[in-house]
């Protein structure tokens, strides 16, 4: 009986120590969907209308790897300023984790932005675009797909430019970004 007790205690201790206290980006998305300060929505790749565009074979291949975009936006207002800075810090902490590598930083007229990759040199698990503006708010976009390749993102951008996507249904997000 004593051996069973110690074995059980050892297993429980191992389970507790193996659990990570760091929040993943997926967990953050789920938790933030409940926050009334956030707008959260998913866009299927079909909404981008890439299939009807006149694409090259490499652009078609890149477009077929894209599955959906998860978008999370926080519009900063005087009554939620404290929560905005808390959320901004949490996102930056998650993105500085070992799972993500920074691809690019940008300063735009709308605010600061970064593009992060999760995966390795051959296959990207997800692409994350994060932007914030201390006057307007923040936007976090996860681009999810299958067998996404870093080299194919140029073709994917070309395919999106050739598509007839006009941003229908994204009015509130556009208003947030533009101010």
- pLDDT tens digits, 104-152: 898 888 889 998 888 776 777 788 999 999 999 999 999 887 777 766 6
Q: Kindly tell me if the per-residue pLDDT of 5 is higher than 60.
A: no
**Could you tell me if residue 162 is inside a domain?**
yes
**Could you tell me if residue 12 is inside a domain?**
no
Q: In the chain, what is the straight-line distance between the N-terminal and C-terminal CA atoms, in Å?
A: 67
**Could you tell me if residue 31 is inside a domain?**
yes
Structurally, how many domains does the chain consist of?
Answer: 1
Q: Kindly tell me if the per-residue pLDDT of 79 is higher than 70.
A: yes
Beta bridge partners of 58: none
Cα separation, 101 vs 51, in Å, equals 30
Cα separation, 33 vs 70, in Å, equals 11
| Residues of the domain holding 106 | 23-178
Higher pLDDT, 118 or 46: 118
**Could you tell me if residue 13 is inside a domain?**
no
**Could you tell me if residue 151 is inside a domain?**
yes
Q: What is the pTM of this model?
A: 0.71
Token output for 1: 């009986």
- Which pLDDT score, from 0 to 100, does residue 86 have? 95
**Could you tell me if residue 8 is inside a domain?**
no
- Which pLDDT score, from 0 to 100, does residue 17 have? 40
User: Considering the chain, what is the average pLDDT of its residues?
Assistant: 75
- Least confident span in 53-67, 70-84, 126-140: 53-67
**Cβ burial, residue 132 (10 Å; 0-12/13-18/19+):** buried
**Could you tell me if residue 135 is inside a domain?**
yes
**Could you tell me if residue 146 is inside a domain?**
yes
């Amino acid at each position: 009986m004593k051996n069973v007790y110690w074995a059980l205690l050892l297993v429980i201790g191992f389970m507790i120590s193996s659990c990570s206290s760091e929040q993943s980006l997926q967990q953050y998305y789920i938790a933030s969907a409940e926050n009334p300060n956030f707008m959260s929505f998913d866009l299927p790749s079909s909404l981008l209308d890439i299939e009807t565009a006149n694409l090259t074979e490499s652009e078609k291949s890149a477009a077929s790897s894209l599955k959906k975009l998860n978008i999370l936006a926080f519009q900063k207002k005087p009554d939620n300023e404290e929560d905005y800075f808390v959320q901004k810090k949490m996102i930056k902490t998650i993105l500085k984790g070992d799972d993500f590598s920074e691809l690019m930083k940008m300063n735009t007229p709308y605010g600061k932005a970064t593009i992060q990759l999760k995966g390795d040199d051959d296959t990207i698990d997800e692409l994350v675009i994060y932007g914030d503006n201390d006057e307007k708010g923040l936007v976090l976009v996860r681009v999810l797909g299958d067998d996404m390749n870093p080299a194919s993102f140029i073709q994917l951008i070309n395919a999106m430019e050739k598509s007839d996507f006009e941003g229908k249904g994204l009015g509130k997000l556009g208003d947030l970004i533009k101010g």
